[in-house]
Amino acid sequence: MVRLDVHPIPVGEGGRRRIDGPTGRLERAGTDQVGRPPSRGDGLGGGQRGTRRSRRKGVWQQAGPAAPGSARRGRGGGGVTLTLAAPGYALLQADTKCWKCGEGTRVTTIWVPSFADTSDVEGPEDEPEIGGAATLRHIEDLDDEVAAHVREVATWLKPGHSETAETTCWANHCRHCDALQGDYFVMGVNGPFFLQFRPEADALTFIPGRGPLKANASAAQSGWMDWIAERLMV
């Protein structure tokens, strides 16, 4: 049995808010480009299966400039307030071909068993959004411990600037030519994380996290992500 350290998510009083969309999943109206190819190969917002949750009432907030080779990080690493919390996490890895040079390269996504998002909590009457198994998208900031773990085991997942999205986020890069591998190629149709069958999910390389996670990111949910949670219980 694979063990994943899970810690409770601290949430305030007031319960949970669910917004049920056409998929029956937790979702919020957004501006993501599901199924539409980006105009350049480094696009971060291309086609994906499942539901993407956009921050701040559906409008993605652009990150400020990031230092070369690093991201803005959480408290203790720049004083940034991190709005998405998860009780644990895992790094899922797969192989794909670089859209630019055609060489084989490894890609990684961050999976969480559940999450609480306080990005829309602005007053005492507001409540955090609660979701189940998901993967993170548009990661602007990671807490120091998670960032260090990613740099240790997935050096290709690092801050990069997308000219298409006009923002700097943690993204996969080709291990040969360093081209940014956007969501359209990694999460979109025919991408390594566009999974439709259980054996595909079971074949992913699974690296357990080292504790809870905090981030500034959006969370996408799809049925195959629940298979990862079931894999932990085998």
Report if residue 64 sits inside a domain: no
- pTM score, whole prediction: 0.69
Mean pLDDT of 23-46: 34
For 172, the domain range is 84-233
Confidence bin at 47 (pLDDT 50/70/90): very low
User: Could you give the CA distance from residue 141 to residue 216 in angstroms, rounded to a whole number?
Assistant: 5
Is the model more confident about 67 or about 4?
4
Report the domain count for the chain.
1
Residue range 167-190, pLDDT digits in tens: 899 999 999 999 999 988 999 998
Report if residue 148 sits inside a domain: yes
> Residues 6 or more apart from 28 whose CB is under 8 A from it?
19, 21, 53, 54, 57, 58, 129
φ and ψ of 172, to 5 deg:
-75, 145
Confidence bin at 203 (pLDDT 50/70/90): very high
> Torsion angle of alpha carbons 64, 162, 228, 99, nearest 10°?
-170
> Residues 6 or more apart from 74 whose CB is under 8 A from it?
80, 81, 82, 141, 142, 143, 144, 214, 215
Report if residue 198 sits inside a domain: yes
- Confidence at residue 75, expressed as pLDDT on a 0 to 100 scale: 36
Report if residue 170 sits inside a domain: yes
Report if residue 102 sits inside a domain: yes
Report if residue 173 sits inside a domain: yes
Q: Are 182 and 44 in contact (CB under 8 A)?
A: yes
Q: Which among 33-42, 53-62, 212-221 has the top mean pLDDT? A: 212-221
Report if residue 201 sits inside a domain: yes
- Confidence at residue 121, expressed as pLDDT on a 0 to 100 scale: 87
Report if residue 205 sits inside a domain: yes
- Confidence at residue 10, expressed as pLDDT on a 0 to 100 scale: 47
User: Could you give the CA distance from residue 125 to residue 120 in angstroms, rounded to a whole number?
Assistant: 11
Asked if the model's pLDDT at residue 35 lies above 50, the reply is: no
- Confidence at residue 3, expressed as pLDDT on a 0 to 100 scale: 53
Burial (CB count within 10 angstroms: exposed 0-12, middle 13-18, buried 19+), residue 203: exposed
Asked if the model's pLDDT at residue 5 lies above 90, the reply is: no
Mean pLDDT of 84-90: 97
- Confidence at residue 4, expressed as pLDDT on a 0 to 100 scale: 59
Confidence bin at 233 (pLDDT 50/70/90): confident
